[in-house]
Amino acid sequence: MKAVIVLCILVVSAYCAPMLDEQLNNQWTLFKRIYGKQYNSIEEEATRRNIWEANLAKIQKHNLEADLDMHTYTLGMNRFGDMTHEEFIKQMNGLKMTVDPESNNFDHHTFLAPSNVAIPDAVDWRKEGYVTPVKDQGQCGSCWAFSSTGSLEGQHFAKTKQLVSISEQNLVDCSGKFGNMGCDGGWMNTSFQYIKANKGIDTEKSYPYEARDGECRFKKANVGATVTGFVNIKPENETDLQVAIATIGPISVAIDASQGSFQFYSSGVYNEPDCSTTELDHAVLAVGYDTTAKKQHYYIIKNSWGTSWGQKVQQYHINRKTKIPTRFKDCFINSTVGQREMLSTSTDFMNKIYFPLIDCMLVELNDRFSSKTLALMKSMSTVYPESENFLNSEDVDAFCRHVNVDSSSLKNEFAVIKSMFKTKKIDDVIQFLKELIPYSTAFPQTILMVKNAMTMPVSQVTCERSFSKMKIIKNYLRNSMSDARLSDLTVLAIERDIFIDYEQIVDKFARNHKNSRILLC
C-alpha cells in the first residue's frame, strides 16, 4: 500500500512540472543576463521561465498582427517579461485617486484655457530643454512622484532656464500626511500640496531615489524647486489638455495602464481599444503632442519605467484619426531605421550593448562548436592523412549521418584501404583522393566522403570572402550599382586566381558592339 501511495505522489509531481521549450534556452539565458535576473530556487526559475515563454508568445503574436496592419504599435520583451500581468499592475501602477479634493483644504482650481490663442500643430518640450532623462521607479509604485517632479522640473526650467532634477524619494518619504502612501501609491495633487506647504522639495542629487519607503530626510538647504499653486484640467477635455501643454509646459496626467499590451509596449502609436477614460491607475508626464502625423495624432509621454520600456519617443494615442485616401493607404511607411536609444550611464552601456554583445557571441560560439559540430569535425578528420584520426572507422558515424553515407560499407572500405596504403605515404587529402580515383568502383563511399569533406570548408570560406569583397566593391561612391553588375564584379574579385584572357574578352566585346559607344563607368 505504501508503494502505491509513493508512486501516485511521483506521478502527480511529474504532471505538475511546467513544460519548457528547450529551443528558447539561449534566449532565456540572454534575458536573465541583460536584466540581471536571479531566482532563489530551481522551482522559482521554472515558474518564471514558464511566464516568460507565455509573454514571449503573446509578443510575437501581436507583432505578427502589427505586420498585417492590425495594430499601430509593436511590443517587445523587457525586464517585466517574467512577471504575470497581475504582478506587473500591482507593482508598477501606483496611482491612487482616493483623495476627495472637496473634503480637504487643498487648492481647488480648474485650468481655464486662454481665449483667442492659436496653439501650434505640434509641441515637443524635450527639444526646448524642459525634460530630464527617463527615470526608473524600480519595484516601487511611485509613478505619481515621478509624474509630479517631471511637471515641476519643466516649470522650474521655464522660470530659471536651469534644468534641475527633483527628488522623487523626498515625496515618497515625506508626503504621507497629505494622503500619499509611498511605494503603495499616491496622487499628483497631494504631491503638489505637500511641496507648497513644505515650501520646497529637495534636489535628486541631495536626496537620491531608493525605490523603497524610508524616513523623511528633507533639508531646507537642499531645496531645488518650490510650488506656489497648481490647477486641474477638466477630465476628458483634450482641447484644454493640448492648450495647457502648448502654453504651460509638461503636464502631469493619469492614464489607464492596466491593459496587457502596455506592459510590453515597444514602439509606435499606442492605441488600445479597451483603454478606459475613468479607470486610471498610472501617472505619467505629457511632454508634447503632434497633430500633423499622417496616420494618427498622438501625445508624447515620458514614463518612469526605465529605458528598457518603450522607445525613445513614447507615444500615447488619442482617439482622433486622419482619413487617408484609399489609393494612398499603402504609401505610408513606419520605419525605425536610424533610431537609437541614448545611453547616459555606464550601467546602460553594459546592459544595452556590452552584455547583449557578449551573450550573442557566446551563443554563436556554442552553436558553432557544439558537441554535435565537434563530433562532425572529428568524423570528417578521418579522411585527412595528416590527422591522427585518419581512417579511424570508429568516428565516421556522425559524418555519415550528415552526408547520408552508408556507415557499414564505409567502415569496410576503410579496412581495405588501410591494408592497401600501409606502406605508402600520403601527404594530404588531395593526394588521397587521386590515389582512390582509379578504384572508384571499389571505394565509392570513401570517395563520396572525401569529396564532401573537401567541399564543406571551401564553401564556408567562399561565403566569408564574398561578404568581405562586397563591402570593398560596393562602397560609398558606387552605391547605385545594379545587382547584376555587383555580382559580376564580385565573382571577378573572389575568383581572382582564375586565369582570364583579357585579349579574348576585348575581341569578343568588339565583335558584339560594332559601331556603338558603351558607357563603361
Distance between CA 296 and CA 316 in Å, rounded? 11
Catalytic residue, from 297, 303, 351, 400: name it: 303
Examine the residue annotation and report whether 105 is marked as an active-site residue of this protein: no
Q: Is 113 exposed, middle or buried (0-12, 13-18, 19+ CB in 10 A)?
A: middle
Residue 48 to residue 40: CA distance in whole angstroms: 11
Backbone angles phi, psi at 297, to 5 degrees: -85, 150
* Assigned C-alpha cell, 236: 476628458
Provide the 3-class DSSP secondary structure of residue 313: coil
Q: Dig out the grid coordinates for 23 from the structure.
A: 529551443
Position of cell 570517395? 447
Reported as half-sphere exposure (CB side, CA atoms, 13 A), residue 213 has a value of: 10
For residues 339 and 311, what is the distance between their CA atoms, to the nearest angstrom? 9
Catalytic residue among 282, 317, 351, 400: 282
Q: Could you tell me where the beta strands, DSSP code E, fall in 349-434?
A: none
Q: How many residues does the chain have?
A: 521
Q: How far is CA 343 from CA 128, 155, 442, in A?
A: 20, 26, 66
Q: Please say whether the dihedral angle defined by the alpha carbons of residues 488, 493, 498 and 503, taken in this order, is positive or negative.
A: positive
Alpha-carbon distance of 413 to 167, in angstroms, equals: 80
Q: How far apart are CA 200 and CA 87, in angstroms?
A: 34
Cross-strand partners of 317: 298
d(CA 444, CA 436): 9
Query: Does the annotation count 222 as an active-site position?
Result: no
Asked whether the beta carbons of 175 and 99 are under 8 A apart, the reply is no
Confirm whether 237 is a catalytic residue.
no
Q: Taken in order 425, 430, 432, 434, is the CA torsion positive or negative?
A: negative
Identified catalytic residue from 62, 71, 78, 143: 143
Burial (Cβ within 10 Å: 0-12, 13-18, ≥19) of residue 252: buried
Element (H or E) spanning 287, and its range? strand 282-290
Positions annotated as catalytic residues are: 143, 282, 303
